[in-house]
Copies of this chain bind each other. A is one copy, B any other.
């Protein structure tokens, strides 16, 4: 996950960089609006953290020019909390989210991750696991060249497993990601859909890509089973 920080206060910028790197993001910094614009158009970033008060070119302008140039990066605006700079205006110019200074670092990370998730799901993506292909953008699934019809829920479950292929994923997490539900939802719902998935993508082919990890959840075999 690549992040560009456009912020003229050096120490704050460094603190953000450092903190985010600990979180596993890869971070670049520039200190004024024009450099930000240049850098963001020259390179590809997933998310841009953009201060509004910048020397040279202010954040609003950077943001709208980026959008005009077709950038689809996620943009998180940093606004000073006095009323001079308007959050609504930030969103108007094409920002995806905003945060008032001073902010808690924990909140920044949370927002960034939420944004990254949205961006991530916006990006086209295709996962190949042996002869099993899951295409998130097209919302299709094929095995050995044969198209497989899946219901929306089934596909969402498969897609989520595919994004973390090879890893054990808990029912709890699947519920949260696919159903957007609280912690008290019924895990059996997941089980039923897993069952349906197996019937469609495994059984007819004599394979077992969808594996049960007892006590912990499910795993989509990285080699397609």
Q: Which residues of A contact B (CB under 8 A)?
A: 11-12, 14-15, 18-19, 22-24, 83-85, 87-89, 91-92, 94, 96-98, 101-102, 104-106, 111, 114, 118, 122, 137-139, 151-153, 166-168, 213-216, 219
Given A106-B114, A111-B106, A214-B152, A219 and B138 contact (CB-CB distance below 8 Å): yes
9 intermolecular pairs with C-beta atoms under 8 Å apart: A14-B88, A18-B94, A19-B91, A24-B122, A84-B102, A87-B105, A138-B167, A139-B219, A152-B216
19 additional contacts (CB under 8 A) given A12-B88, A15-B89, A151-B215: A14-B88, A15-B88, A15-B92, A18-B94, A19-B91, A22-B96, A84-B101, A84-B102, A87-B105, A97-B105, A98-B105, A106-B114, A137-B167, A138-B168, A139-B168, A139-B213, A139-B219, A152-B215, A152-B216
Query: Interface centre among A85, A101, A106, by most B CB within 10 Å?
Result: A106
Residue picked from A91, A101, A102, A215, most chain B C-beta under 10 Å: A91
With A138-B168, A139-B219, A152-B215 already in contact, the answer to whether A105 and B91 are too (CB < 8 A) is yes
CB of A18 to closest CB in B, whole Å? 6
The chain B residue with its CB closest to the CB of A167 is: B137
Q: Which interface residue of A22, A98, A118, A152 has the most chain B CB atoms within 10 A?
A: A22
Min CB gap A51→B, angstroms: 13
A208 to B175, CA, bound (A): 34
The number of times this chain is found in the oligomer is: 2
Cβ distance A70 to chain B, nearest Cβ, rounded Å: 14
In the assembled complex, how far is the CB of residue A225 from the closest CB belonging to chain B, in whole angstroms?
A: 13
List the 3 closest pairs (A to B, CB-CB), nearest first: A152-B215, A15-B88, A139-B168
Please state if B152 and A138 are interface contacts (CB–CB under 8 Å). no
When C-beta atoms are compared, the residue in chain B nearest to A106 turns out to be: B97
Q: Which residues of B contact A85 (CB under 8 A)?
A: 11
CA distance A42 to B13 in the complex (A): 34
Which of B23, B94, B111 is A118 in contact with, Cβ under 8 Å?
A: B23
A219 neighbours in B (Cβ, 8 Å): 138-139
